[in-house]
Chain A
Amino acid sequence: MSHHLVEMRDVWFVYPDGTEALRGVSFRITHGESVALVGGNGAGKSTLLLHLIGILRPVRGEVRVGDVPVVDATLSQVRRAVGYVFQDPDDQLFMPTVREDVAFGPVNMGVPSEDVERRVRDALEEVRIGHLADRPPYRLSAGEKRAAAIATVLSMTPDVLVMDEPSANLDPRARRRLIGLLRGFRHTKILATHDLELVRAACERVIVLDRGGILADGVTSAVFADGAVREALGIDG
């Protein structure tokens, strides 16, 4: 059994206002893969990601993480396996210091306090912001906030990293650092992004979403060479 597996089988989702956000999405992501989820605004990227941690549930179809279906009974197991980095770090960082924020997940998981300390240290080192541990998160720069937000999920030692727009609002240097970090992680990675350069640098596989359905799924270079994909993503104008 692999914890690193992420699978959707014919997933449909309709928002209460009637918007069909996902229409029969199926894919299977295996151990160690780095997958980009691309598509225009409103293509369904964020909706899809929220299904992976059970915050949204399909009206039809099934989501599986690490061989277990995402249902009420498995939620804590699933959320332990999937580390979710939200689009706006300000939503993710809510404790008074970076250290406490990074400790929040492990503490909720019931990790003993001496292990929590070690995990916090390791997670902060991994994203190279150990020196910011005692700063309040709302006083950090955008790049530092992003790194802190990533640390808050790394401390939960997830098998799968899910990130919504990880390079949004980053300056070129912070973005390069992020790409370096992403390439260093050995987790299974799923990144929803508009940043095609980031995709080329950090993901070997791309899933293209268009109006709630999968338009293309394959090796990055091949997918980006496809005419229909280029049209849908608005590459070449």
Chain B
Amino acid sequence: MSGRHWIDPGELDELARIDSPVHRLDPRAKILVTALYILVVMSVSPDRIAALMPFVLFPSLGFGIAGIPVTPIVRRLAIALPFAAMIGALNLVVDREIVLSVCGIGLTGGVISFASILIRAVLTVSAALLLVSVTGTHRIGAGLAVMGVPGIFVTQVLFLVRYLFVISDEAVSMRRAVDLRSAGYHPGRSRGLPLRLFGSLMGSLLVRSLDRAVRVHRAMRARGFTGDVRYAGILRFRSMDWVFLGSCAAVLIALRWADPTQWLGGVIAGVR
């Protein structure tokens, strides 16, 4: 077995094996709440950063109650954020009108919408990571299938995950083989591969992954696989799941449209 990597593709699924009240919820309830959360967060207007703040609660509570460690989540966030930053970066250039001044520093509309995009990326990606780490890809697949998502999509998702392992394992062992035989070969370039070598490595990674995929597929066909993953354990939607779904939906909708930050601000202003 290979050692742990910086991003271990199995890590989230491993976390999904922890036992906690959040883990025990039916995957369908968690999928619906996560989807609603993402929709609500995305629907907040870009210029209202304060209105996003209450939404930090949802993932934090989730991670806290489920006992999910911070490090693996932060690592994955770090991978996702540059993409959000790239999307938001254009706003900085396009929208240069100063709309707010904090301590004498003028903030343009672009800066605010850039920050809003980053914050929303952190929130929504964490919510998705939370869903995977408290449910596991396989149970998410089962939930989606039972909810009526066409089998072909569910199978795609599950296989994407399965083959991620396959390819990352192949890549790690190839990288090791290169490292072991390239000592001193490229003086002053101990890290990073020359482009030519990188190209041929990628090519052979593709070929090896395809070979491996063929063997996995054979093994599946040998055990009667016909294209649909079926689920041995039948999911049960219990009263606890209804309570979770109902209360989360109510809180999310209230946070979106009642805007407690203004209300709280009003209360504090009133006290003064």
Contact = CB atoms under 8 A, between A and B. Distances in A.
- A and B co-occur in one complex: yes
Contacts of A103: 232
Contacts of A96: 13, 136-138
Contacts of A100: 138, 232
Interface stretch (B103-111, B148-156, B219-227): B219-227
Contacts of B223: 79, 104-105, 108, 152-153, 156
A3 B233 CA distance: 30
Contact of A113 (B136, B138, B224, B233): B233
Contacts of B230: 107-108
Contacts of A138: 1, 10, 165
Contacts of A222: none
A136 interface: yes
A108 B226 contact: yes
A162 B11 CA distance: 34
A116 B230 CA distance: 12
Given A55-B222, A94-B162, A156-B224, A113 B215 contact: no
A84 B223 CA distance: 8
A216 interface: no
A86 B17 contact: no
A91 B219 contact: yes
B264 interface: no
12 contacts: A92-B219, A94-B162, A94-B216, A103-B232, A105-B223, A106-B232, A113-B233, A136-B10, A136-B14, A136-B17, A138-B10, A156-B224
A134 B16 CA distance: 12
A117 B225 CA distance: 19
B137 A113 contact: no
Contacts of B234: 113
B151 to A, nearest CB: 13
B198 interface: no
Nearest to B163: A94
B242 interface: no
Interface residues of B, number: 28
B233 A79 contact: no
A230 B203 CA distance: 41
A53 B224 CA distance: 11
A100 B136 CA distance: 13
Nearest to B14: A136
A80 B215 CA distance: 19
Nearest to B159: A94
* Majority SS at the chain A contact face: helix
A132 interface: no
A107 B219 contact: no
Interface of B: 1, 10, 13-14, 17, 136-138, 162, 165, 169, 212, 215-216, 218-226, 230-234
Given A104-B220, A134-B17, 13 more contacts: A53-B222, A55-B222, A79-B221, A79-B222, A91-B215, A91-B216, A91-B218, A92-B219, A96-B136, A96-B138, A105-B223, A113-B234, A138-B10
Interface string A104-137: 1111110001001100000000000000001010
A196 interface: no
B224 A109 contact: yes
A86 B215 contact: yes
Given A86-B215, A107-B230, A138-B10, A76 B224 contact: yes
B224 A116 contact: no
Contacts of A105: 223-224
B13 A136 contact: yes
Contacts of B218: 50, 55, 86, 91
Interface string A29-66: 00000000000000000000010010100000000000
Nearest to A95: B138
Contacts of A76: 224
